[in-house]
Amino acid sequence: MSYLILIRHGQSVWNLEKRFTGWVDVDLTENGEQEAKKAGELIKQLNIKINYYFSSLQIRAENTLKIIQKTLNDNQNFIKAWELNERHYGVLTGLNKIEMSEKIGEEKVYKFRRSWDLRPKPLDKKSPFHPLNIATYKNIPNKNIPDTESLKDTYERVIKFFEAEIKNKINHGNIFISAHGNSIRALCKYLFKLDENQIVKLEIPTGNPLLIDIDENLKIKNCNYLDKDRSSDLLVY
């Protein structure tokens, strides 16, 4: 039996500004840093050793992990993987969610944010927000860089990576993954066997570690958010 700990990065600059972020590589706010520090303190109270760390390639997830490791006095190396990146929001990238709700309606924006297989229109490759124009992704083959994604697209890349690089480690130690709202939603769909209707309703809070007691067959014995004051009531096990 091992522990799998999932965390959505702490609040980012564009979270605060209520902008569709996706693959734009923005950093944490001061509040986001404090969320990560508290997450580290809560994990420290578990008195368990984390054997494997994973992060997306994006700085908000990486810095969340680094703050947590510093709080744990743990400086071991971690694996960064673009497959754990946030979902790409296509032409919505950079736009304000409230303004878009006023412009095209809350229902349509909600569908773009939460639906399973709806993709926004592709982002122009010349946009400064396109991953092709962001230095963070310079080593990713162009064929793997999306112009837009649905949650289904995100699920496929996240789970492919999970099965190839993480699943076989579950029986050999405790695992920590720092990622994003949609990449963690994808993992939760897979691990908790959620259907397409359930995943639409799933919210993932920033900076709150989800502790999952799991065995090598991916059978979940128990799970809970460590910061109980900020627990999501939408993840039902």
Catalogue the active-site residues: 9, 86
Distance in angstroms between the alpha carbons of the first and the last residue of the chain: 18
For the chain, what is the largest distance between any 2 Cα atoms, rounded to a whole number of angstroms?
A: 50
For 79, phi then psi, to 5°, come to -95, 130
Q: What is the Cα–Cα distance from 19 to 101, expressed in whole angstroms?
A: 12
Alpha-carbon torsion angle 74, 80, 81, 84, nearest 10: 50
Find the helix or strand (DSSP H, E) in which 54 lies: strand 50-56
Q: Answer for the pair 207, 4: CB distance below 8 angstroms, yes or no.
A: no
113's CB contacts (< 8 A; 6+ apart) are 97
Tokens of 37: 């520090």
For residue 26, CA distances in Å to 84, 106, 122, 180, 186 come to 16, 25, 20, 12, 21
Q: Answer for the pair 191, 212: CB distance below 8 angstroms, yes or no.
A: yes
* β-strands 210-214, 220-225 pairing: antiparallel
